[in-house]
Structure 1
């Protein structure tokens, strides 16, 4: 769980929900082609995920000091730096000089104007390097947002402390940790287009460079809803995903969000990473107390920790962590139904879902939470959800079966009542998807069917 029944940064989005219940800069760019866009049907979905992943994608952006690299996994790297800059790490107080280079995507026009947007990326950052991701968009009233920082990230923590950036707003939209959100969606204001900017950093005088293989963002306009339509069961299948409990890590490394009791996100991430064959070496795990079971969970917590949010639940940071493992990709998106999850499970792709609920709303869970991640690994013959729920007392107890109707509703709704009877927000179908860098044709088809490619 993520700080069970304490206010999470997600609940700040409930301000707009409550209102509904109560009554720039940079080079000019052409609109991007629709390749890799979500949804191939004639009717536009309320979710639009767009990614830049191919060599032509990287060539289509505006670069200063970068170059696109071809190959089996194309990306963008520093070529000749555009200049140097000083960065004072707000979490250490250390000021250092860095060489930098930038890549700016073409403008992507959202098929469905959005109330929220979440960026995610896949990259390698050797020691001595890091990166920043920014988003700048245009509103439906014709004005532009500022360049918003969506994350300052490194795979390790020896150079900078990976961090979200608080306090970013222009009076029309705000960044809540990892999520761009229109401040008051009831006004009809929407984000109609955006572009993303990468800034790659390295120690001066070196030939080090980050390499970014995937950069994308999900824009959505999910209707306000306390309940969602029921979907019909369509699959009986279970994937063999490793089981890890966050609870057995309670009290371990409290500097990372007070220890394991709050580690639902990295624990879920580690389960799926290992499902795909990702393994940590003894050297990578050597910092963990040898008396701790499942040290890879401690490692995942440390390497997803957001020093500003002071937690391990930053959605893009978890996807980026997964992609540090060989031949894995990770994205953050929204899905529309359990039918979408069935499509993925049928192709062998488990998913990490984000939900919040009262203890009485999910039979068999035994707890309530303001924000929790778990891994969907299959469906029973009756259509109920088989989940690896890390909020379990042991690894053996992680596998749970949750009633289809209850699970679907707590995951997909955007409004709910908390234990005090106050209207707060739901995640509206947010999930992490981790999958091979080179998906099989079946996997690619399933991903494309849910808007990811």
Structure 2
């Protein structure tokens, strides 16, 4: 269940050691700092800034700078290769295979953040037929008006057929003010700057001489500045209390030892297992033909499928946040984003509208009653709330499918999910996810579901 968030925690803890803690009050008062919003009828305060921006419409695609790409109209406007802008050789670091690829590019307009950000996480929804792949990059402008390099936020392919590249994050990227840790562009808190704006660059690749093309329906990023905090303000139960969704329940633990080439087998598959639960909640799942590769003796083969096709060959794990979103969005008419939420009231609003929330958290066993374990990073699915407001979670770190659904105390769950700092079992300071979540939903939504998504900044 551990995550490469441990690496991010170690690096950021070292860089933050020489700077004063950023309290919520200090952040709000700082020039260009975070903003505080009223959380409506919850009686709590939303502290910090979260901004999710996506390009999805025909006007969005036409508003970018295209070199060889074209915007295609339809029920789901999308971006595809019209003609190659050039070609390049790529040596796959995970197979050693060198191949030439044609490419075309699209660059988004610069997006100015409502409040400067300390982190940026990109996500995308796309289809990449065999023999194609895509690369997503981000370039930010700091508050001192200098710019980051073009950072690779992911090289993605839906499959892993012979001749395809292996999907991968890219290590070793950084300047003196920021760096990329697997899927997160993080600004060094000691640098004194934040990201004021950013642009995304999408490069679509295909084998030379073919008419194949990736198609991209959604490209977005979440920029945020969440104040450093070991505890978060408590929220009161809201309108979602008493609602429970029929999310399927799958255990990662029953897959221990299965396909160890994908992150040491099932005991590390919390992210794809949670993703599969929500994919199936929306009525999608792999076909029998797609699952034919899985040992027929294994239960829940679709979890093995999700692990295989979210696996990040650089990180050597299945916990890459955008890769999970991209996998989920590969199913018919599905959309997926990575963002943050301010409070449990935001999750309640989504659950009340019928939208489950996959959350990322880290904690000691003593910090979450009933879990029975501690973790440096773990994903689970919020499937509902009791009448008193406690969290009904489908926790894949369970001995069997039957025992997956748990009830966790509201205050404990809220704190371990929303905080940005924590102490490990040795008393060392580590990071928390600061409210990161996966939101998966279909194209066709009810008016209530659209309102709920808009309320948390997702359109």
Query: Fold-level match, TM-score > 0.5?
Result: yes
Of the three residues 49, 58, 62, the one matched with 2:52 is 49
Once the two structures are superposed, the pairs formed by residues 363-374 of structure 1 within 5 Å of their partners are 363-374=369-380
Answer yes or no: is 1:380 the counterpart of 2:383: no
User: CA 1:446 to 1:434, structure 2 compared with 1: closer, same or farther past 3 Å?
Assistant: same
Residue equivalent to 2:363: 357
- State the alpha-carbon separation in 1 of the partners of residues 166 and 391 from structure 2: 37
- State the alpha-carbon separation in 1 of the partners of residues 75 and 439 from structure 2: 21
Once the two structures are superposed, the pairs formed by residues 35-434 of structure 1 within 5 Å of their partners are 46-158=49-161, 159-183=164-188, 185-234=189-238, 235-434=241-440
Contact residue 2 and residue 313 of structure 1 kept, 8 A? no
- State the alpha-carbon separation in 2 of the partners of residues 370 and 333 from structure 1: 20
TM-score normalised by the chain length of structure 1: 0.93
- State the alpha-carbon separation in 2 of the partners of residues 281 and 370 from structure 1: 34
- State the alpha-carbon separation in 1 of the partners of residues 10 and 358 from structure 2: 20
Could you give the per-residue CA deviations for residues 302-328 of structure 1, whole angstroms, max 9, x where no partner exists? 000000000000000000000000011
Contact residue 225 and residue 413 of structure 1 kept, 8 A? yes
Of the three residues 436, 440, 452, the one matched with 2:442 is 436
Could you give the per-residue CA deviations for residues 254-282 of structure 1, whole angstroms, max 9, x where no partner exists? 00010000000000000000000111111
- State the alpha-carbon separation in 1 of the partners of residues 338 and 174 from structure 2: 22
Could you give the per-residue CA deviations for residues 115-145 of structure 1, whole angstroms, max 9, x where no partner exists? 0000000000011100000000100111011
Consecutive aligned runs of 4 or more in structure 1 exceeding 6 Å deviation = 39-44
In terms of mean alpha carbon deviation, does 435-444 or 336-345 score higher? Answer: 435-444
SS at match of 1:304: coil
User: CA 1:299 to 1:8, structure 2 compared with 1: closer, same or farther past 3 Å?
Assistant: farther
Deviation at residue 188 of structure 1 after TM alignment? 2.9
User: CA 1:425 to 1:382, structure 2 compared with 1: closer, same or farther past 3 Å?
Assistant: same
**5+ residue gaps, structure 2:** 23-36, 41-45
User: CA 1:115 to 1:7, structure 2 compared with 1: closer, same or farther past 3 Å?
Assistant: closer
SS at match of 1:57: helix
Could you give the per-residue CA deviations for residues 327-359 of structure 1, whole angstroms, max 9, x where no partner exists? 110000000000000010010000100000001
**5+ residue gaps, structure 1:** 24-38
- State the alpha-carbon separation in 1 of the partners of residues 39 and 411 from structure 2: 26
SS at match of 2:304: helix
- State the alpha-carbon separation in 2 of the partners of residues 10 and 99 from structure 1: 38
Residue equivalent to 2:32: none
Residue equivalent to 1:28: none
TM-score normalised by the chain length of structure 2: 0.92
Root mean square deviation of aligned Cα: 1.8
In terms of mean alpha carbon deviation, does 391-400 or 39-48 score higher? Answer: 39-48
Deviation at residue 45 of structure 1 after TM alignment? 5.6
Deviation at residue 440 of structure 1 after TM alignment? 1.9
In terms of mean alpha carbon deviation, does 265-274 or 440-449 score higher? Answer: 440-449
